[in-house]
Structure 1
Amino acid sequence: MSSDHPVSGMAGRYATALFELAEAQNALDAVAGDLAAIGRMLDESSDLARLVRSPVFSADEQTRAFGAVLDKAGTSTLVKNFVGLVIQNRRLFALRGMISAYTAILARTRGEMTADVASAHPLNEAQLANLKASLKTATGKDVHIDTHVDATLLGGLVVKVGSRMIDSSLKTKLNSLQIAMKEAS
């Protein structure tokens, strides 16, 4: 069945396994919701993001800390077990990639496209709705938006849809201006 969901890399293999388990349990949307909530928590909590990225924490420490967060968030048993396995295999650093890959598999299964959107600040519901409408007009398909915060952008967005990337970030505009000024002098 994994050939039905072509993804590559380690994060893709984990996401495919989770997708197949969720599909067998008729829990595709519930798992997607739990993963989206985890993604938001990673964006909003620098401590949680550090726990995920840092190899300094032992698997036991990560299991206890992340388990407590997932319990408090009311995450499903399937997602808790999945994150536990990811931690046990020392792959927690790739969790965000696994979340993105799961979202892409789900969208592809539904005939949707997935847009990876990086913004300097979290987007509100109105901004997400406007972006979704604009992307639907541009692509002609329903677009699922996978967002994350990248404070280094300073402002604007970086949107990746399929093989296309639209970079309207202030960081890129400033870099382009700096290059143009160097060439002019």
Structure 2
Amino acid sequence: MAGEDPLISGMAGRYASALFELARDAKSTDAVKADLDRFDALIAESPDLNRLVRSPVFGVDEQLKALSAILDKAGIGGLAANFLRVITTNRRLFAVRDMVRAYRALVARHKGEVAAQVTVAEKLSDQNLEALKGVLKNVTGGKDIDLDVKIDPAIIGGLVVKVGSRMIDSSLRTKLNAIKFAMKEAR
């Protein structure tokens, strides 16, 4: 299963696959996914936590101590917390975001869903989110969509949608760059 998808390959894919098998056996794939999503969101929101996760300067003991405090405060326990502690002990915490992404893909595949990553300039309303899910469901042949929405003001406007290996970039930044390039060519 891990060899089929480039997203679920390499070291992060192996860890994610092992976690998925454990979670599936324990019938807790959704609970683990929710905990990992919460941890991933904490990393995205906190530059300090991102530095703790990615920097090789911190030792295992320091990372474990900080991680335990964060997990307790965030209410993350069980299999997800044990997994995060194991990857910390194995000096693999730097790849946790890739592992979370691979785990999401495994859960989506298991449920028959298609994972879609969407980048927008500002938060989408519930109505726009549902409309986007509807469009993506039509494009994917009626499969359920698991949306991973990221907010990036740098794209200025529009959105970037990635479903599998297909990417649609209708961001204003890309359109402005295309105009700028065309103007340079016209000289």
TM-score category of the 2 structures, normalised to the smaller one:
0.7 to 0.9
Out of 153, 177, 180, the residue aligned to residue 178 of structure 1 is: 180
Across the aligned residues of Structure 1 and Structure 2, the Cα RMSD in angstroms comes to 2.2
Instruction: Provide Cα deviations, 1:33-84, integer angstroms capped at 9, x if missing partner.
Output: 1111112212222222222222222222222222211111111221111011
After TM superposition, list the pairs within 5 Å mapping 1:109-120 onto structure 2. Answer: 109-120=110-121
Q: Which residue in 2 is equivalent to 1:99?
A: 100
The runs of 5 or more residues in structure 1 that have no matched partner are none
CA contact (8 A) 1:154 1:170 kept: yes
1:3-53, CA deviations, whole angstroms, 9 ceiling, x for partnerless residues?
698631111111101001111111111001111111221222222222222
What is the TM-score of this pair, normalised by structure 1?
0.87
Deviates most, 113-122 or 19-28: 113-122
**What is the Cα deviation at residue 122 of structure 1?**
5.0
SS in 1 for 2:61: helix
SS in 2 for 1:118: strand
The runs of 5 or more residues in structure 2 that have no matched partner are none
Deviation of the 1:106 alpha carbon: 0.8
> For residues 4 and 28 of structure 2, what CA distance do their matches in structure 1 show?
17
Greater CA drift, 42-51 or 151-160: 151-160
Q: Distance in 1 between matches of 2:156 and 2:15?
A: 32
How many pairs does the alignment contain? 184
Aligned AA (1:17): A
Percent of residue pairs bearing the same amino acid type: 54
- In the superposition, the TM-score normalised over structure 2's length comes to 0.87
Contact 1:152–1:171 (8 Å) recurs in 2: yes
Find 1:164's aligned residue among 163, 166, 178.
166
| Cα displacement string for residues 116-139 of structure 1 (whole angstroms, at most 9, x for unaligned residues) | 223344555444333222211221
